[in-house]
Amino acid sequence: MSGHSKWANIKRKKQANDLVRGNLFSKLSRLITIAVLEGGGTTDPENNIRLRLAIEKAHISNMPKENISRAIERGIGPDKAQLKEIIYEVFAPSGIVIVILATTDNPNRTLSEIRNHLEKHEGKLGNQGSVLYLFKKCGKIIFKKSEATEKEVLSFVEMIKAFDIDEDDNHFTVYFSFESLGKIKDYLRGLKYEIAEVDYKPNSLIELKDKVKEQKILSLVESLEELDDVQKVFTNLKIGNEHISSY
């Protein structure tokens, strides 16, 4: 297991600020709507794993039920939202690479906003496939130590055939094949988890010994996260024993 996760703690503190900025609910609404659209209009969470996970994430963030209902409605009916999910691949300074997941109804606007932020932080947009091969698309599930023992988590790890597990002071983070994401209920056996979602885990990590260079990357990541169309940001930057990704 990896050791204490500094970045996870930073991200959890930052999540509270996201609520103040008011953009978190907007991002979650898009996540729910795209789950309905990509699920062929299926609005039953039990038959749409992506929707179920999006709703769970919304509940964790205390998103009101009426907001969730509106987001689902935008994915069905004659006036359903025309959202698209797009992956952007980025070369950042100091050999760091970034994967951006975005949901947008205007790809030209989103591309322009992302390029603008990259230029300000010395980043460069890559071609399709130029960065993504350096990451493994997988499932990720996080357990609170206050709600799950190490023995219970390791039992889940064995059943789901996870390929990696991280640990910090308060959480276990388990990584497993993307194909198994829809089967997690079969292996949990009543075990409570904090969040389950899609992750892009880097094949290898880069640790920047220079704190100024490290902060430059963190500033770029946070800048991208603030864009309404951006859902998640993943990088191969190592902080503590963990890679950087949106929480």
Q: In what order do the strands lie in the sheet with 230-239?
A: 124-125, 84-91, 97-104, 230-239, 242-245
Q: Which range marks the domain in which residue 24 is found?
A: 6-73
**Residue 42 pLDDT class (50, 70, 90 cuts):** very high
Assess whether pLDDT exceeds 60 at residue 64.
yes
- CATH label of the domain that carries residue 39: 1.10.10.200
Q: Within a domain: residue 209?
A: no
The pLDDT, as a whole number, for residue 245 is: 64
Residue positions counted in the chain: 247
What confidence tens digit (pLDDT) does each residue in 166-194 have? 988 899 999 999 999 988 988 998 899 99
The pLDDT, as a whole number, for residue 1 is: 39
Q: Which two tokens stand for residue 20?
A: 């103040």
The pLDDT, as a whole number, for residue 19 is: 47
The structure's pTM equals 0.85
Distance CA(155)–CA(223), nearest Å, equals 39
Q: Within a domain: residue 28?
A: yes
| 3-state helix/strand/coil string of the chain | CCCCCHHHHHHHHHHHHHHHHCCHHHHHHHHHHHHHHHCCCCCCHHHCHHHHHHHHHHHHCCCCHHHHHHHHHCCCCCCCCCCEEEEEEEECHHHCEEEEEEEECCHHHHHHHHHHHHHHCCCEECCCCCCHHHEEEEEEEEEECCCCCHHHHHHHHHHHCCCEEEECCCEEEEEEEHHHHHHHHHHHCCCCCCEEEEEEEECCCECCCCHHHHHHHHHHHHHHHCCCCEEEEEEEEEECCEEEECC
Q: Within a domain: residue 13?
A: yes
Q: Within a domain: residue 44?
A: yes
Q: Within a domain: residue 18?
A: yes
Neighbour-count burial of 80, counting CB atoms closer than 10 A to its CB (0-12 exposed, 13-18 middle, 19+ buried): middle
Q: Within a domain: residue 31?
A: yes
Least confident of 35-44, 65-74, 238-247: 238-247
Assess whether pLDDT exceeds 80 at residue 142.
yes
Q: Within a domain: residue 223?
A: no
Q: Within a domain: residue 34?
A: yes
Amino acid present at 119:
E
Contacts of 122 (CB under 8 A, 6+ apart): 92, 93, 216, 220
Overall number of domains in the chain: 1
